[in-house]
Amino acid sequence: MNISDEFKKVIAENFYDKDIEIWATGTIKDDEGSIIEDEKIEKIDGFKGNFQFKTREYIKQEYGKEIEANAIVTCDKTIGKIGNILVYNGNDYDIKSKITGDSHTTLLVNGSDNNV
């Protein structure tokens, strides 16, 4: 099914109301060259999207595979990919899966809302 750009715009205006960022990860090393940790190092994308917490059971049923994710993000488009960090509402989430469709992109992410 081919979704027109005009219809995609209507979807975005009505459903994508959350500010979301995508960050690349990188390895941080100490002065002696030992790896300290992998962390987000550079913002690579920012967009409006929809963010919903879902159970892993729901995600397995909806997408047909076991994915270690607890939230679904939908948006018009993003350059984010598996392994990047998605930042929403001041919290970091690991991107576990990316599904691109005719009308939108879906990211399955895992993390927690530290503001609860």
pLDDT of 1 reads: 64
User: In CATH, what is the architecture of 5-111?
Assistant: Beta Barrel (2.40)
Give the three-state DSSP class for 55: coil
Backbone phi, psi, residue 68, to 5°: -75, 80
- At a CB cut-off of 8 Å and minimum separation 6, what does 2 contact? 102
Q: Would you give per-residue pLDDT tens digits along the chain (116 residues)?
A: 677 888 877 777 778 999 999 999 887 777 787 777 667 889 999 999 999 999 999 999 998 888 999 999 999 999 999 999 999 999 999 999 999 988 889 999 999 877 54
pLDDT of 115 reads: 56
Domain residue limits, the chain? 5-111
